[in-house]
Structure 1
Amino acid sequence: MVLSIKTRRDAVGLATGELLIGGAWRAAADGRTWTHRHPATGEQVGDFAVASPADVDAAVRAARQAFDEGSWPRSRAKQRITVLRRMAELIRSHTDELRTLQALDNGVPLTFGDEYAMSIECVADVFDHHAGWVDKLAGETLPGYQGGDHLVMTLREPVGVVAAVVPWNGPLLLAAQKVAPALAAGCTVVLKPSEFATFAALRLARLFEEAGLPPGVLNVVTGPGDPTGQALITHPMVDKITFTGSRAVGKRVLAAASEGMKRVSLELGGKSPSIVFPDAEVYAAATLTMGTVTLGLSGQACVAHSRALVHRDVYDEFLAIAQGMTTLVTYGDPFDPEVTAAPLINERQRDRVLGYIERGQAEGARLVCGGGRPDGELSAGNFVEPAVFADVANSATIAQEEIFGPVLAVVPFTDEEEAVRLANDTSYGLAATVYTADVKRAIRMARAVRAGTVGVNGYQLEPHVAFGGFGQSGLGREGGRTSIEAYTEVKTVLIPTGDEMM
């Protein structure tokens, strides 16, 4: 039997994806296209336009005109709220279609698409949440510091044209986390989805048209980093860049932004620890930790807890449960309800992960299980069997670098002081989870661990709270008030109320 997604692809009726520029859908100026192949089967999913630098220029200029001359930045709060809430309603009413497109994009199984953090409901909630902030973007009124008859006040105004660059692992959620606050603040946007997850984002853009978003406020350019992404992040008319992806690319984004002093938000991944104390529910700690690197996206998520720091008293127990978890992982057709995990996104990433597994063994870590490639009907896909490494030194490559695959490095520790030292011994600082029955210890650890989000006995993403990281996990936060404020500039206004000079 040969695994195939052709039936699902044909049922959707995917045509060549076009660019959205200034309210019009069109092919790339030079006619260039990209063929997307499904990561589980290698079959062609569809073609989409590759935006040239000229196409990107047209998209940015359309966004610039919509910002400088259009109604959206100057619209009443009610208009923006109506569009964003209508968008949330449309997303919910197209749940099955969007789930299908996402599975055709990146192979994430529908079973995982039902989990809240990766669900279509969560995407809709992001728009609902930011709609609620539109009429609350308040400044301050301050007394004159030196006294006298004058008024000091601040205003929050939209930052301008936003370049939003989105990765393939969460094409809908991550697009929402960037586009929703930008639009709520009154900005205009040029969205570039990943070339490995384009069709769901294009459908999202068409829903915006139905929601009543004015032409030019949202533009979409598709294609790889070169030429499309590079042309976008270096365009002089872009005021802000928001990017989620690898640290290496994030550094290039930051360098490009420095030329024009563009505002930047970066979410660049992590090497997040699960910290398991001997009084924890070890079964829950092991299954939840292993789930982040095996189920759903197979560890291809920035918040994957790919380091397990485990107290020596429960080390063997944790390892046994984690190994047992790998037997529950099933690969195959993402539309099959029995399938629980995705393939790696492409051959390059598959080979990269296999290279890390080889390096882990070469550096002395003990491979407990996994790390190979399944055969049979899965051999054409980019699948890698979940790997568990024991006796890992925290300085080892597999404990320090983001692998973005189904690989867990288990590091032993002896006491709380050592656990904090190991947890913070990383260049990243995105997330962490502490497993303990001691509330006081949980609070101490939450304060001591340098990470943007710390869970206690579990970890959950929410659309209304700040998400981002310390160190090389990025700059800024997405979600909550901090997110929408990142798409604004603060303007100070000084108003004399008397006859004296200020």
Structure 2
Amino acid sequence: MEATIHKFEDVLIEKNEVQKMYVNGEWIPSSSNVTRDILNPANNQAIATVTEGGAEEVDLAVEAAKNAFYKNGWKQTYARTRAEFLLKVADKLEERKEEFAMLETLNNGKIYEDSLVDVEDAINQFQYYAGLATKPHGQTYEVPDEIQAMVVREPIGVAALVAPWNFPLVMATQKMSAALAAGCTVVVKPDKQTPLTLIRLFEIIDEVGFPKGVVNLVLGSGAVVGDALINHESVDKISFTGSTEVGKRVMKSAADSIKKIGLELGGKSPNIVFADADFEAAVDYALLAIFAGAGQICSAGSRLILDRRIYDEFVDELVSRAKEINIGPGWLEETEMGPLISKDHMNNVLDYIRIGKEEGAEVLCGGHQILDGDLKEGNYLEPTIFSNTTPEMRIVQEEIFGPVLVIQVFDTEEEAIDLANGTDFGLAAAVFTNDGAKAQRVIRKLQAGITWINTFHPTFNEAPWSGYKQSGIGGDLGTYGFEEYLYKKQINTALEVKPSGFYKG
């Protein structure tokens, strides 16, 4: 505990020190002099003040990135040189990982152990893409007519990278590391509520000495800075992680100039538990699936699809254990679930709980804001579980993005699959059963991009992160995420130069 509190004190930012943006190798304030207080969701106290950018800063950043790519040679930089930059970032982030983890906890609210895992993932992403940058990835083909046919990959250009508030650092670095390894230049926009770890990462970017304009950071709201980036004529690629509603607007805006897009959007992920599953493991992961990160994870298992034969026993154990989850600030070692990101978001989740009750669902536990002691100052909700749901209910169909689980019941394998696929989303899904053939049979019929058998939530930087249906287009991570930032160019060379012979005259 003492070590954790010590870290907490060490990462605090001086209240009179306004955090700036990083554009063309310089730290700059907003031209409008507008600032924003950044709040700690555990107590809603201001922990930093940041400058608030606008369209002017977006223009400066995009122009800097464009010049760095097209005029100043980043496009032609050797892959090994790009890899060396990424490895330097990884090394310096490794040296400061506890500091970054605590700052993430203060800004986002997640428990310290989860924040530390995120920072370690970010380090691994820079290392992984540094390695991938130098690997050959061209192709040649045996074709007729004495032609040498080959494909080369070239960086797309200026990439606008928009990161969410639930994974402020790691979902930005998975985009940054892939784009930079591919040879793109980038303009990064964190969520307006959670910019602090990215600001600190750009201290490392500055120290490492990337050429001016290659890596830029613009702060501000999605409505102003986000829209300016998405609509900017010199942005060649947009990678956005956020809600499906906003993703649709990004897609529509990108259509005007046919920008390349990657969208990682919402989810309403099913977790199917069959009667033959390992009971203790299935209960444990059902809790982890929804209550990790206070349910503020796009791949959260927010729908428990439960075999009727074990319903009573399973639900009794699930509810009993949900009531025992230790809730509090993320920097305390005993905390198992932290606060929601903001009062507004907490009230939105409470609205869904009210809607669920009005729709006729039964609350088995939770359903209220926690107003005990010091927790009343933060954005804390009780772990909430609904039963007696029907497929058409809004709490079953819509992403709540909080610690709210809805239970659906099935009698047959086919019914479980139909329920699981019965929303507009398709990000993640899980199956719990000790029948290996059934597990494979069911998982292959689920419309989801990230799936698990007898576990929930583990993912790896080497594997793609992408969704089906309205959960997204394209994706991040792995070689697939690298390819998102590359054009594929076909080059055909005649091995014997002579007239085509097509024209007879």
Q: TM-score, normalised by structure 2?
A: 0.95
Name the CA distance, whole Å, in 2 between partners of 1:131 and 1:317. 49
Say if 2:326 and 2:337, in contact at 8 Å, map to a contact too. yes
Q: 2:33 aligned to 15, 31, 42, which one?
A: 31
Aligned partner of 2:64: which letter? Answer: A
Corresponding position: 1:382 with 2:379: yes
Distance 1:374 1:501 in 2: 81
Q: Secondary structure at the match of 1:388?
A: strand
Shift of the alpha carbon at 1:20?
Answer: 0.6
Q: Distance in 1 between matches of 2:111 and 2:492?
A: 56
Q: Which amino acid aligns with 2:202?
A: A
2:306 counterpart of 1:322: no
Pairwise CA distance, 1:7: 10
**2:287 aligned residue:** 290
CA-to-aligned-CA distance 1:415-469 (integer Å, 9 cap, x gap): 1010111111110000111000001001101110010011000031111101110
Contact 2:329 2:339 in 1 (8 A): no
Alignment of 1:159-308 (within 5 A): 159-295=156-292, 297-308=293-304
> What is the Cα deviation at residue 9 of structure 1?
6.0
Report the AA paired with residue 493 of structure 2.
I
Distance in 2 (alpha carbons) for counterparts of 1:455 and 1:86: 34
How many residue pairs were aligned? 492
Structure-2 residue corresponding to 1:310: 306
Paired AA for residue 261 in structure 1: I
Is residue 465 of structure 1 aligned with residue 463 of structure 2? yes
Shift of 1:16: 1.4
Residue 497 (structure 1) shift: 0.7
Alignment partner of 1:477 out of 454, 475, 495: 475
Q: Which residue is equivalent to 2:346?
A: 350
SS at match of 1:484: helix
1:96 matched residue in structure 2: 98
- Whichever residue aligns with residue 465 of structure 1, its letter is A
Aligned-pair RMSD on alpha carbons?
Answer: 1.6
The residue type equivalent to 1:265 in the other structure is G
**Residue pair 2:7, 2:99 contacting (<8 A) in 1 also:** no
What does 1:22-171 correspond to in 2, within 5 Å? 22-114=24-116, 116=117, 119-144=118-143, 147-171=144-168
- 1:16-56: per-residue Cα shift (whole Å, max 9, x none)? 11011100001011111111121111111111111111111
User: Does structure 2 retain, via aligned residues, the 8 Å contact 1:6–1:43?
Assistant: no
Unmatched segments (≥5 aa) in structure 2: 501-505
Give the structure-1-normalised TM-score: 0.95
- Aligned-partner Cα distance in 2 for 1:320–1:112: 28
Mapped to 1, the partners of 2:78 and 2:483 lie a distance apart of 18
C-alpha contact 1:283 1:318 (8 A) present in aligned 2: no
Q: Indicate which of 337, 341, 345 corresponds to 1:341.
A: 337
The residue number in structure 1 matching 2:388 is: 391
Work out the CA distance in 1 between the residues paired with 2:208 and 2:431. Answer: 42
Distance, in Å, in 2 between the alignment partners of 1:13 and 1:45 is 7
Q: Indicate the percent of aligned positions where both proteins have the same amino acid.
A: 37
Check conservation: 2:263, 2:473, Cα contact below 8 A. yes
Residue 418 (structure 1) aligned with residue 420 (structure 2):
no
2:453 equivalent to 1:456: yes
Matching residue within 402, 406, 409 for 2:406:
409
Q: List 4+ stretches of structure 1 deviating above 6 A.
A: none
Q: Alpha-carbon deviation of 1:137? A: 5.0
The one-letter code sitting in structure 1 at the alignment partner of 2:212 is P
Query: Structure 1, residues 1-23: CA drift from partner, whole Å, max 9, x if none?
Result: xxxx9994675334311011100
